[in-house]
Amino acid sequence: MTSTTATRPAAAAPVPADLRRSALPLRRRLTDGFSKSLMGLALLIALIPLGLVIYHVTSRGMAVLDWDFLIEDIPNSARRAGGGMGPAIAGTLLITGAAAAMAIPLGVLGSIYLNEYGKQNALARLIRTMSDVMTGVPSVVMGLFIYVSYVLVVKEQSGFAAALALGCLMLPVIIRSSEEMLKLVPDELRQASAALGARRWKTTVSVVLPAAISGIVSGVMLAIARAAGETAPVVLVAGTTFVANWTLAGDNTTLAAQIFKNAGEPFPAAQDRAWGAALTLMVIVLVFTVAARLISSRFAIKER
């Protein structure tokens, strides 16, 4: 052992390859450095707009945001200063909440079908592909769909119609993210439960779901965050209101819809309200996004 290590340097001695970086031809070194700096530049190009958006929304939004802004009614003339976004905040919470209440049970049950029953059979594969496709359906199309199939039937624009549209947008997202989480639950847990004599539904409800619940919750919260910022369906089917409507029936409005409406106005008062609404919406979205991250990192199933 010692003798071989001792003799090796002697054998390799004649041509000591120069492996230092400076020994590379200049052209290769330059290409390497150039490509690396391009990658860094790409990151900068993406982060600068993010920083600017956050900066502008915060600085312009803070100028108008106060307690009154959060609770007061929306002025019914866009050029009038003052007023607030109270009705839009009420609408955002109500409509997003109702959408979540519809989409979460359906989505989680659907993902249970995909992962616990269907697995790789033809129907499950079809549903999987179709929910991927449904994720890509533009939100404006979902709004038109609810208009045609619900608003035209009951002949009334309402917060409920908007909730239906947002629910349809959330459903495929929840199905796919929950399925990923169910996939991470080790099979041993299911087998142990089955060995104790539990029925399949009992196993799923009392063993598999609790094991995956943190991941499912975090996926759901991301879906809620995205739905809260959706604008087009609300503009198409919810109508609009200037006073808070805490019911799902009748015209309603959301922060996103109000930003859209006020952003296009030439009046500074309207634009100020749009910035204030944007800051409020960003805070709501951020709270859900950060909570989702915390939950998923704190209680994650260890990936195998």
Among positions 228-257, residues that touch another protein (CB under 8 A) are 228-232, 235-236, 256
# residues contacting another protein (CB under 8 A) = 94
Cβ 242 to another protein, closest distance in Å? 16
In terms of CB distance, is 60 or 189 closer to another protein? 60
Within 161-220, the residues that bind another protein by CB under 8 A are 168, 171-172, 175, 197, 199-202, 204-205
Within 35-54, the residues that bind another protein by CB under 8 A are 35-36, 38-43, 45-47, 49-50, 52-53
78: Cβ–Cβ under 8 A, 6 or more apart, which residues? 261, 262, 265, 267, 269, 270
Judged by CB under 8 A, the residue of 70, 71, 93, 106 near another protein is 106
Cβ 83 to another protein, closest distance in Å? 18
Residue 184 structure tokens: 């991470």
In terms of CB distance, is 62 or 109 closer to another protein? 109
**Residue 28 identity:** R
81 binds another protein (CB under 8 A): no
**Which one, of 265, 296, 231, lies nearest residue 74 by Cα?**
265
In terms of CB distance, is 186 or 264 closer to another protein? 264
Is residue 109 within 8 Å of 204, Cβ to Cβ? no
Within 133-162, the residues that bind another protein by CB under 8 A are 133-142, 144-145, 147-149, 152
Is 67 exposed, middle or buried (CB count within 10 Å of its CB: 0-12, 13-18, 19+)?
A: exposed
Is residue 240 within 8 Å of 95, Cβ to Cβ? no
**Residue 253 identity:** T
What's the CA gap between 182 and 215, in Å, rounded? Answer: 9
Judged by CB under 8 A, the residue of 93, 184, 282, 301 near another protein is 282
In terms of CB distance, is 90 or 238 closer to another protein? 238
Is residue 131 within 8 Å of 175, Cβ to Cβ? yes
